[in-house]
Amino acid sequence: MKSTLIELAHYVGGVLHGDDAPISGVREIQHAVQGDLAFISNAKYQKYLTSTHASGVLVSQVDPNAAVSQIVVPNPYFAFARALGHFFPAVHPQALAPSWVHPEAVVDQSVTLHGAFVDAGATIGAGSYLYPGVYVGMGASVGVNCVLYPNVCLAHGCSVGNRVIVHAGAVIGSDGFGYATNAGVHHKIPQVGVVVVEDDVEIGANTTIDRAALGTTRIGNGSKIDNLVQVGHNVTLGQGCILAAHVGLSGSVTLGNYVVMGGQSATAGHLTITDRVIIAGRGGATRNIDKPGTYAGFPLKPHKEWQKEVVELRNLSELRRRIAALEAQINSLVKDDE
């Protein structure tokens, strides 16, 4: 697909400063060539504005020293994402593999089933696409314009909302991890709740979201979950949460709105984390967090406090050396007095 800078400026809601030019692709600013559109959202890439070979760059403000046309937008990163979608619209293969649909399932005529298995009582909304190996369990539901990639499992009774993307191998509605121990034997607690995934959520490959023991495990509107994330039973995510790879949420944890958890961070069970909290990578939450902000370390503490402690730990060896030298001096003075 080809376009022009003027057309792209209109498409992303920006203003073109400089000459119009044909655009045939998008690329990072340091690697862009003629015909490419690039962007700057990080100040460290500003230097490339004077040397890039791109035909146009998305920026938040005009740089008068730039030797390239610029499209000014409020959020260059978001505008670049929109431009990528313009040049690379989603393309799904034609339905060739045989599918199996239970006669009691309700599947909209516009749905594409590409080797999927839809069980009794399930419903699939208009415009959704199910890749080979997808399983939609009894009584489960998929909203409109969803994409479920190969080998996704949406277990019985669970639901995903509208415009949801679930990547390959993800499991929604596996049993929660619950056992009652009696006389040294672990007995399984039946997990009879469900998972509800709300609208505009994206779930990464091989992520698992456990059904509730009772009630609902809920993923809020617009939340984005990376690959290989574990969401335990009865967890509730507010809207707009972001969970990076290897995050682990223990059972009955509640996240507020717009909580961000970095890679390999985790929580103990039955905690509540308020709105707009950021947990840095490998951070461990062992108690409730009731104040917005950025936290790090294990156990978690405010990020600046954690940074100071890290610096102090790095200086321990030097402090030990200095203390040993002082002790030697004191011992020498004591001997002299004797």
Check residues 1 and 155 and name the one with the higher pLDDT: 155
Q: How far apart are CA 31 and CA 76, in angstroms?
A: 17
- CATH level 2 (architecture), domain 3-87: 3-Layer(aba) Sandwich (3.40)
pTM over 0.85: yes
If you average pLDDT over residues 302-324, what whole number do you get? 85
DSSP letter for each residue of 241-301: -EE-TT-EE-TT-EE-TT-EE-TT-EE-TT-EE-TTEEE-TT-EE-S-B-S-EEEETTTTE
pLDDT confidence bin for 126, thresholds 50/70/90: very high
Q: Any residues with CB less than 8 A from the CB of 65 and at least 6 apart, and which?
A: 49, 50
pLDDT by residue (tens digit) across 212-246? 999 999 999 999 999 999 999 999 999 999 999 99
Active-site residue (options: 233, 246, 270, 303): 233
Start-to-end Cα distance in the chain: 91
pLDDT by residue (tens digit) across 151-196? 999 999 999 999 999 999 999 999 999 999 999 999 999 999 999 9
Cα-Cα-Cα-Cα dihedral sign, residues 111, 90, 2, 46: positive
Task: Tell me if 3-87 shares its fold with 100-304.
Answer: no
Give the pLDDT score at 94: 74
pLDDT confidence bin for 338, thresholds 50/70/90: low
If you average pLDDT over residues 14-24, what whole number do you get? 96
Q: Any residues with CB less than 8 A from the CB of 131 and at least 6 apart, and which?
A: 92, 114, 115, 116, 147, 148, 149, 150, 152, 168
Instruction: For residue 303, indicate whether it is catalytic.
Output: no
* Distances 178 to 32, 189, 190, 214 between C-alpha atoms, Å: 53, 5, 8, 11
Percent of the chain residues topping a pLDDT of 70: 99
At residue 318, does pLDDT exceed 90?
no
Tokens of 188: 């399984």
In the chain, domain spans: 3-87, 100-304, 305-337
pLDDT by residue (tens digit) across 282-294? 999 999 999 999 9
DSSP conformational letter for 189: P
Q: How far apart are CA 130 and CA 152, in angstroms?
A: 9
Give the pLDDT score at 317: 84
Cα-Cα-Cα-Cα dihedral sign, residues 216, 211, 166, 156: negative
pLDDT confidence bin for 266, thresholds 50/70/90: very high
User: 100-304: what fold?
Assistant: UDP N-Acetylglucosamine Acyltransferase; domain 1 (2.160.10)
